[in-house]
């Protein structure tokens, strides 16, 4: 697979919030951290996407459609021309590269092995919606003027979660790879209300390749439309007969 194209894809699905209300962040007994997950069956969004790894720069429009806990569909276009289409279900990722007339199929196990990161559907959905990647399990929570902060671990990865004291939403997460020493920092900001739920309008991220000593990768997603849909959405994906599998 074209490495730049796949990096853009992974940047989108790994970097792209919902809450019924901005209420107390702890339960009544003060023993449970409550960051409410989104409540919807179908969700759609449109965003501007930018990618810069020091050597390559990409700017595109991304359209998202989600059936919660089941399907994520993404269309990438520039100047009104669709360049790629992505379909993600709970087991696989399918990609159409319409410019090169190629297509790709990955299981999450294959993708995780190739990029040395534990990809799965719930993780991707959580990041797109601004939810906690690794849920709170009674870890020690520290309070600053601006955040509630706690650390969760999974394998060689450490997740530092910063939950806004005012927004009551995840505003920053830092992922540290203890093996490579590389880090990924994602920031959510400019929260807005959509159907009485809170969403981050801006998402920005930096991948710092400490071990490889190569330039940082910077990604930004700026939403200009978000809708909690009343009716089911369609997720069109079909491979033309002339496309070559890569």
The CATH number linked to 102 is: 2.50.20.10
Determine contact, residues 168/146, Cβ cutoff 8 Å.
no
pLDDT of residue 129: 80
Assess if residue 52 is contained within a domain.
yes
| 5 DSSP assignment | H
58-116 pLDDT, tens digit per residue, is 889 999 999 999 999 999 998 889 999 999 999 999 999 999 999 999 999 988 777 66
Query: Would you state the structure tokens that stand for residue 16, as one six-digit string?
Result: 């792209």
Indicate whether 32 pLDDT > 70. no
Assess if residue 21 is contained within a domain.
yes
pLDDT band with cut points at 50, 70 and 90 for residue 15: low
Assess if residue 241 is contained within a domain.
no
pLDDT of residue 226: 93
200-225 pLDDT, tens digit per residue, is 889 888 888 876 677 888 888 898 99
Quickly tell me which residue has 């190569």 as its tokens.
Answer: 214
Query: Would you state the structure tokens that stand for residue 153, as one six-digit string?
Result: 């671990």
CA distances 28 to 20, 24, 139, 141, 169, Å, are: 17, 9, 17, 16, 18
Provide the domain limits for residue 202.
3-235
Q: By C-alpha distance, which of 77, 47, 50, 63 is closest to 199?
A: 47
How many domains, in total, are found in the chain?
1
Assess if residue 246 is contained within a domain.
no
Q: By C-alpha distance, which of 156, 128, 168 is closest to 33?
A: 168
pLDDT of residue 137: 73
pTM for this entry: 0.80
Assess if residue 142 is contained within a domain.
yes
Q: By C-alpha distance, which of 175, 200, 174 is closest to 188?
A: 200
Assess if residue 92 is contained within a domain.
yes
Assess if residue 244 is contained within a domain.
no
Query: Would you state the structure tokens that stand for residue 15, as one six-digit string?
Result: 């970097």
Burial class of 80 by CB neighbour count within 10 A (0 to 12, 13 to 18, 19+): exposed
The overall average pLDDT reported for the chain is 82
113-151 pLDDT, tens digit per residue, is 776 667 889 888 887 887 877 767 777 888 888 888 888
Q: Where are the beta strands (DSSP E) in 155-242?
A: 157-164, 170-177, 183-194, 197-208, 217-229
Q: Three-state DSSP class for 27?
A: coil
* Type and span of the H or E element at 10: helix 3-15
Cβ contacts of 170-175, under 8 Å, gap ≥ 24: 170/17, 170/35, 170/130, 170/131, 170/132, 171/147, 171/200, 172/147, 173/132, 173/133, 175/133
What distance in Å separates the CA atoms of residue 56 and residue 54, rounded to the nearest whole number?
Answer: 6
Assess if residue 242 is contained within a domain.
no
Indicate whether 4 pLDDT > 50. yes
């Amino acid at each position: 697979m074209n490495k730049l194209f796949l990096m853009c894809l992974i940047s989108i699905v790994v970097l792209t919030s919902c809450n019924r209300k901005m209420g107390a962040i702890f339960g009544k007994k003060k023993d449970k951290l409550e960051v409410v997950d989104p409540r919807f069956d179908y969700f759609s969004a449109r965003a501007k996407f930018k990618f810069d790894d020091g050597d390559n720069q990409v700017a595109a429009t991304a359209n998202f459609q989600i059936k919660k806990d089941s399907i994520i569909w993404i269309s990438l276009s520039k100047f009104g021309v669709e360049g790629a289409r992505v379909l993600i279900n709970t087991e696989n990722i399918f990609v159409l590269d319409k410019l090169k007339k190629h297509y790709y199929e990955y299981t999450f196990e294959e993708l995780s092995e190739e990029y040395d990161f534990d990809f799965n559907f719930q993780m991707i959905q959580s990041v797109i919606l601004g939810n906690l990647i690794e849920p709170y399990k009674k870890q020690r929570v520290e309070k600053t003027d601006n955040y509630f902060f706690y650390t969760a671990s999974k394998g060689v990865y450490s997740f530092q979660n910063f939950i806004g004291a005012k927004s009551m939403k995840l505003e920053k997460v830092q992922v540290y790879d203890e093996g490579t020493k590389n880090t990924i920092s994602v920031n959510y900001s400019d929260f807005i209300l959509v159907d009485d739920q809170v969403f981050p309008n801006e998402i920005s991220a930096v991948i710092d390749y400490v071990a490889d000593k190569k330039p940082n990768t910077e990604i930004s997603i700026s939403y200009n439309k978000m809708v909690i849909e009343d009716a089911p959405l369609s997720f069109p994906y079909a491979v033309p007969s002339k496309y070559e599998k890569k």
